[in-house]
Amino acid sequence: MNTSPRHLLLAGAAAGPFFVVSSLLQASLRTGLDPRQQPPSALALGGAGWLQMLTFVVAGIGYTAGALGLHRTVTGGKGRWAPAWLFVFGLALIAGGIFRMDPAFGFPPGTPDGVGDTVSWHAAIHGFLFPLGFACILAAGWSLSRRYAADGSMVMRWVAIMIGPVTLALAVLPDIGGDPQGRFLSLWLSVVLAFGWVSLVLADVARPVSSVSTEPFTRSTA
């Protein structure tokens, strides 16, 4: 069955809200999980961890579908690399659900605070995927900003330019001296903003009248 680009875009647009709502709901129900003290990836630990692992994978599949829809819809020069970056972002999410972090930061309950003296191979992979995902958001934003500029969508252009640096800064804040009483709140916020922006872009392109031109550009300059 040949899925239409709009259906692919809408699948991607739903991925962000799905991930955020699922993660927040799990965080409110998991015993010993405090979003101020543990990152979203910690939800993949423990007996109910399979649900967060599934959340990562389903959201990643949604974003890869959205990236394919974007590739088939927005053609031409400016912004042509954005679908590829978003596709890699989706793959990073899928892999992040398969390769989970080690017990750390006091979760599951009984785990010492901080990280252990050794890092497992799957946690090392997960740790690499984390910055890779945010780097893809940054690259996709800068790519799309040129498309928005060409279309005269200045608000969307500046949001696309700033979303990467802002969310990346918030994501790494816990590692450079964030508030120990709420060290991971900035990371949770960065996830909400980054995932929300990607979903916003995909939903926007899926609209009958989009902020992004879907007509091919004659020049390949981005």
CB 108 within 8 A of CB 78: no
The SS3 of residue 166 is helix
pLDDT over threshold 50, residue 39: yes
Evaluate if residue 220 carries a pLDDT over 80: no
Q: What is the DSSP letter of 35?
A: T
Q: Does the pTM of the predicted model rise above 0.85?
A: yes
53-63 pLDDT, tens digit per residue, is: 999 999 999 99
State residue 86's pLDDT score. 96
Q: What is the rounded average pLDDT of the residues 213-217?
A: 47
Given pLDDT bands bounded at 50, 70 and 90, which one contains residue 181?
low
According to the model, what pLDDT value does residue 188 have?
Answer: 94
Q: Average pLDDT, stretch 112-123?
A: 85
pLDDT for the residue 75 = 66
User: Which tens digits make up the pLDDT trace of 78-93?
Assistant: 678 899 999 999 999 9
Q: pLDDT band at 209, cuts 50/70/90?
A: low
Residue-wise pLDDT for 190-202, tens only, equals 999 999 999 999 9
Tell me how far apart the alpha carbons of residues 10 and 15 are, in angstroms, rounded to a whole number. Answer: 9
- End-to-end Cα, the chain, rounded Å: 33
SS3 for 68-117, per residue?
HHHHHHCCCCCCCCHHHHHHHHHHHHHHHHHCCCCCECCECCCCCCCCCC
Which pLDDT does position 187 carry in this prediction? 92
Q: Per mean pLDDT, which of 53-62, 155-164, 204-213 is the most reliable?
A: 53-62
